[in-house]
Amino acid sequence: MADVMPELSAAERAGKAFPVSWDQFHRDCRALTWRLNEVGPFHAVIAITRGGLVPAAIVARELGVRVIDTVCIASYDHTKQGDLKVLKGIAADVAKLGGGTGKGLLIVDDLVDTGRTAALVRQMIPDAHFATVYAKPKGRPLVDTFITEVSQDTWIFFPWDTALTFQPPIRDGAA
Q: How far apart are CA 148 and CA 132, in angstroms?
A: 9
Bridge-based pairing of strands 81-88 and 68-76 is antiparallel
- The residue type at 93: D
CA angle, residues 102, 92, 50, in degrees to nearest 5: 75
| Cis upstream peptide for 50 (omega within 30°) | yes
Residue type, 59: V
CA distance 154 to 167: 21
Give the domain ranges of the chain: 18-151
120, 121, 124, 126 alpha-carbon torsion, rounded to 10° = -110
Closest CA to 121 of 146, 153, 144: 144
Q: pLDDT digit string (tens) for 67-108?
A: 999 999 987 665 666 789 999 999 999 999 999 899 999 999
| H or E element that contains 40 | none
Q: How many whole angstroms separate alpha carbon 43 and alpha carbon 5?
A: 36
Active site residues: 109-110, 113
Indicate the range of 8-17, 39-48, 58-67, 90-99 predicted with least confidence: 8-17
- Alpha-carbon span 108 to 60, nearest angstrom: 10
We find that the CATH architecture of domain 18-151 is 3-Layer(aba) Sandwich (3.40)
pTM of the predicted model as reported, rounded to 2 decimal places: 0.83
Q: How confident is the model at residue 161 (pLDDT cuts 50, 70, 90)?
A: confident
How far apart, in whole angstroms, are the C-alpha atoms of residue 60 and residue 140? 22
The reported pLDDT for the residue numbered 16 is 85
